[in-house]
Structure formats: structure tokens, C-alpha cells
Amino acid sequence: MVKEFRAFALHGSLLDMAIGFIMGAAFSQVVSLLVKDILMPPIGLLLGHVDFSSLYVNLGGKSYATLADAQKAGAPVIAYGDFLNGVISFVIVAIVMFLIVRQVNRMRPPAPAPLPTKECPHCLSTIAMGASRCPNCTSELAVS
């Protein structure tokens, strides 16, 4: 049983998938930090010194100066600023993954052209162009 598990765990596709998962998680963290620390501050500056990570809607009756103060007090809040950062991170990851898959698909060889076929005049099934007998109804055909 140990040998079977080892063969399964070290099988190429499973190992590739595990490496891809780990790389994807690391890439996602890098993109998240890119959005939070590099992209959003200049955008916030252009929009009037807005810190997106501190944007929230207070659902309670009392007002708080910051999101941290509201969360510390246990007030019900909707912290939509972090959600905006997450959406932008997701969009960046999705675009990068699309570009990677697109490049991989371009590097693959084109699919082989389908073989020419004709229709059997007796049973109307599709057969190879040079067939002298239909494989479905076994009728003899004129070789074209």
C-alpha cells in the first residue's frame, strides 16, 4: 500500500498539479500585495487621498473615525475597501492566467486535418474516401 501511494504521489501529473497550486498561491499573494501597496495608493491619491483598504459602511448607530476603531468596538461594518482590492487582484490574476494559457495554446502544434470522407450511398454513413467496402453495411463501393 505504501508503494502504491508513493507511485500515486510521485506520478507526474499529480506532482505538476501540486507545483502549479503552490506557484499559483504565491503568485496570488504577490499580485495582492502589488494591488494593495503599489497600484491602489496612486489611484487613491488621484481620487483625493482615498485609502481603499479603510473604506467601510457602518451599520451601527454610533460613528467611528476609522475602520479599525469600528472593528475594535465590535460594530457591524461592511468593509468594501478590502473587497475592491480583492476584486482588482482577481482581475489581474485572471488576465495573467489568460495570457499564459493563450501563449501555451499558441506553442502547441496545430491539430491534424481531418481525413477526407464520403457518404455511403446505401446506408448514408460516413466512410473514408478510398474505401472499397462500407464498414457499416458491408456494401461494395466504387473506388473514387
Residue 143 pLDDT > 80: no
Between 14 and 89, residue with greater pLDDT: 89
Domain ranges of the chain: 2-53+79-108, 114-144
Mind listing the pLDDT tens digit for each residue in 57-112? 999 888 898 888 998 999 999 989 888 888 888 888 889 889 988 998 899 888 88
* Residue that the C-alpha cell 490574476 belongs to: 93
pTM of the model: 0.59
- Please give the grid coordinates belonging to residue 79: 468593509
Give CA separation, 18 vs 15, 25, 110, in Å.
Answer: 5, 11, 28
Band (pLDDT 50/70/90 cuts) for residue 12 is low
